[in-house]
Structure 1
Amino acid sequence: MTQPVEAIYRRESRRVLATLIRLLGDFDLAEEALHEAFFVALQRWSQEGVPDNPRAWLVSTGRFKAIDRLRRQARFTPLLQEQANALEAADWSDEDVEDDRLRLIFTCCHPALAADAQAALTLREICDLTTEEIARAFLATPATIAQRIVRAKGKIREAKIPYQVPSRDELPERLDSVLRVIYLVFNEGYSASMGADMTREDLTREAIRLGRLLTELLPEPEVMGLLALMLLHESRRPARTTASGELVLLDEQDRSLWDVSMIGEGCALVEHALGTRRFGPYCLQAAIAAVHAEASSAGETDWPQIVGLYDVLLRMMPSAVIELNRAVALAMRDGPLAGLQQVEGILARGELLDYHLAHSARGEFYRQLGRVEEARVAYERALALAQQAPERRFIEKRLAGL
């Protein structure tokens, strides 16, 4: 792609796709229309220049390409001619385009779809992650993820799942899946599953945008909690890597680089959500992030409060990953041996054996205890599992330091 078209693809392609799905009522047809629209743009814009409203141009071009495709296929399937005529006769406006991605999320998270398919479909269609990236996030094979996506699209088509935001009465039962998917999108942006860069700001920004939309639509405590959690994590992004892209641990970050406005907004949301006394796991995670954000230095962090919040979170939502995070907080409160014992217990149960951060934490605790050979084994295992370049370089430095 030429540079202007490539930049517009990165910025607009998912919005264009969401609108095309609404207009065409079919995922596969919309995806084909999207690619054809950008192919035409590549040819024309280099000669005619980029239009004033490239998103509307791409939607309009994709729509007409889809109609043409249906008419060509109508020679073999007459019903497609009726579909093409209906699409051509229908009016469309780009006034509601901003809501299309939210509509698409609720479609992808419909309860008729399996939970793993909901997340895979959303990450693929809304965020343009590859099947390989999604597979990494789910610890699955690309073939498995591809099958989930195909089955989900087929289910939406066969069950005629509506492309709309549910009514207010329906929203609560649909909310858990939507929150989980938005957080998965954020996590992939906050700590990319693989590649040269540690973060993908486009994904974190999009997840926060979706979180804001959802908060406006349904200002429930857990919705506010998720938005707060994402804002508080994102506030630290400028300090998480050096200018050359090297990983910087939380206790070594330059806190003057943290985004004060995001921290203020996130902490206010946490306070409001907790005040309802109807909080859940996202609110508690946001509360933990708020304790970190409010500490002026690493040494002033209230680790006893963080451990206590993790205790409540674990009772509410048992999870080996949360247990690992608690082990790190426990080590900061009680010393590396306490943290090591917790991590060894998790691994002994057969959990997180393929999770590089568990082995990295284990290596760090051994390093702090001066048990060099055990630290080396743990770090080597973490290095074998890590896929992200900055994390790999960080582990390599730890190994060299031993």
Structure 2
Amino acid sequence: MTGKGWTEGLLTNDGGALWTKLFRVISRHSSVRVLCTPLGISGEALIDFYNDLTQDLFLKLHSKNRWQTYIDLGYTNEDIEREIYRIEVPNLVSHLQREWHPESYRMARRISDLLQNCGDFQVYPPATVARDGAKRACNKMALRLYGLGSWPLDKEVKPNANLSESIKAVPFRRRDTRRTGRGSGSQVIISTEELKRLIRDIFEAIDTPTEVRTMRSLVLSKLAVEDWRPVSIDAGSDSHDADATVPAVELADSRPSPLDVLLKKEEVQLADKMAEQMMEKMKNTVRGKPGRFRKLVEVAWHCYFDPSLPSQTSIASKMRISDSLVSHYRRIFDSLVVDLATSIEEMTVFNSALDRRLCAMVSEFGVASDRGMERSRAAMPPPTHTAAPLMYEQ
């Protein structure tokens, strides 16, 4: 199974082979290692973490219909692996970082934008040494070297080991609690001008160009950033007695899993398709005659989906047909429903889909009827008014 390529696994619908190859890509991706390093995950917990990411990415690709797209567009094994490695995995990691560390993620983006666009800073020629000893350029934004704009381009780059010690004299910035963003749901943390001054102070303190990712860490260490981190609910508090027994607590997560969301989406799509087929069967049963099809739709909706729950007599009176004709169309609809032979769960979702379609059609029929009455009134000749005889006093 592990020897299968991406295309072979897709063509044979081998989910196990696709899962294995996806797990291999995730476990070896550098951005995933950056994601799990701050969490301190290792051993079996790291394998579980990789499994969770693999499931999230597998379902995301399935929900976007990317697996089928790879087949339809004739992707090769190399094309599929390249897209997953360069696009899908980084997008997943970026989404998780934005979800787990919203303020740190936002501040990191602001720091990168300032380094790139502010004239106070400049980028230094990239120089990464390859295995053959030749210098090669690195295009990753996080690995680019930046420094003060007043420094010479040939300024010596110092090692990063002692940079944290060098910025101890840089003052910690107070948090700016002004509200910003859509709906004022987040705080400013630090203004743009103050952030520029902080970056300049750090560059002056370390006196060396440094990578963007290193500058992000140094700047964030001087800001009051509030991010959550996963903590075991069974972990004891530091204030508790070390010998005290911490009760094990298992809380059930009532939220639907990604798999449940995907299955629910497929269930709704299947119900919509069944409702469309049901409407076609109803039309074919009355041989496509518009008048009979309209009566069948209105009887079905009023008998089974109308919230007012009208009686058969009131339905007949409203539609201006006989009770026996209402019974006739009702039996036609009942026979079509019996032929479906679906489970109770599928029938529940199907009822909702059919209710929406019938309600929309009944509304359309009502609008069309009103327009027809207006056209009929407009086509009628204007009434002839006869002058009333004049009355004269005798």
Q: Comparing both structures, which one devotes a greater share of its residues to helix?
A: 1
Q: Comparing both structures, which one devotes a greater share of its residues to strand?
A: 2
Larger relative contact order, structure 1 or 2 (CA cutoff 8 Å, min sep 6): 2
Alignment TM-score, normalising by the size of structure 1: 0.23
Alignment TM-score, normalising by the size of structure 2: 0.23
